[in-house]
Amino acid sequence: MKITLLMADQCSATSVAATLDFFQTANVLHHYAVKQNAREERSNSALFDLETASIDGQPITCSGGLRLTPDKKLADVNSPKLIVVPGFMFNILGVLPSLGKMVEWLQEQHQQGCYIASMCTGAFVTAQAGLLDGRCATTHWVFGEQFARSFPKVILQIERTVTDDGQLLCSGGSTSGSDLLLHLVRKFSSPQLAAECAKKLLVDFSERSQTPYSSTTFKKNHTDAEILKIQIWLENRIGRTIVMEQLAEEFGLSMRNFIRRFKEATDQNPLEYLQNLRLEKAKFLLESSQQAFEQITLQVGYEDGNSFRRLFKQRVGLTPSAYRKRFENRRSVHSG
């Protein structure tokens, strides 16, 4: 199977290296399996034929400064079966305008029936080509809101680490590229080979979600000074019982005007904002302290531990104990 791995200035070196390593590992394991089955006459055939290409064939500089030389330019690529679009870390919004020729080339290849797999923020490139309109997609959770605003026709599933909508595939942030690569090995070879790759590369083979890794953004770069004061007031009193009607009255606002202005400024209604503040505080305390969850519940302003536990599981995707086990600060646990 012929695969073309795209490269461009400011792309993620990890995306490039991981793709090369995963498919090479698959080839080696496939080669070994063929030999074990006494079919030596086929043992030299590569399962995945991988090449790299940049827009003009010239060396590119990755986001971390690593300089890489592609095998060829896009014009010399001949009928790939699968194209892998690398991620661009946190540079995608600045880089995207310079990728016009790559966008056009992806459109042409898709029209010819090629599969396209986008890693991390590489989904912006594929979406810019219009290929994800009406399709399921994901990207790095940090860029979820920006992606949704830029490409409203795409069915964004930001909680997913991998989406597969037929010929168009995407992965979430950074290391979830390994989830996508394993999925590609499974899709174009076999579940058995994908499982062997996961074992040899020490990669989790189970389905994951981006939700436990994400955090809510509390927008403050707006121009409503009164709402900003209310945001700060809420942050400083997170552990108290807060009645929104009383809060609006304290700041001299009608409830209707308060909700409208708060939503316009922060993209969240007041209750949603307070709930997210409490969840983020609880996540921080689970990561950095050994307090019991019942203590944390009271500290963030909830009295019913069971209802807050259910809310936490629903919104974060993990139980509080599972979240602490995954993300706790090891230095604080093992100090002394």
Evaluate whether 127 touches 170 at the Cβ level (below 8 Å).
Answer: no
Angle between helices 270-288 and 305-316 (to 10 degrees): 90
What is the CATH code of the structural domain delimited by 2-213? 3.40.50.880
Domain extent listing, the chain: 2-213, 225-334
Cα dihedral across residues 100, 103, 109, 112: positive or negative: negative
pLDDT at 161: 85
Handedness of CA 283, 272, 174, 91 (dihedral sign): negative
pLDDT at 332: 41
Q: What is the mean pLDDT of each run of 10 residues along the chain (336 residues)?
A: 96 95 93 67 73 97 95 96 94 94 97 95 97 93 91 90 90 83 89 87 69 67 90 89 94 95 92 90 85 93 90 88 77 38
pTM higher than 0.75: no
Contact (CB, 8 A) for 168 and 116: yes
Please state which CATH number belongs to domain 225-334.
1.10.10.60
Residue 31 neighbours by CB under 8 Å, 6+ apart: 43, 44, 46
What local confidence, expressed as pLDDT, does residue 19 receive?
96
Res 236: pLDDT: 86
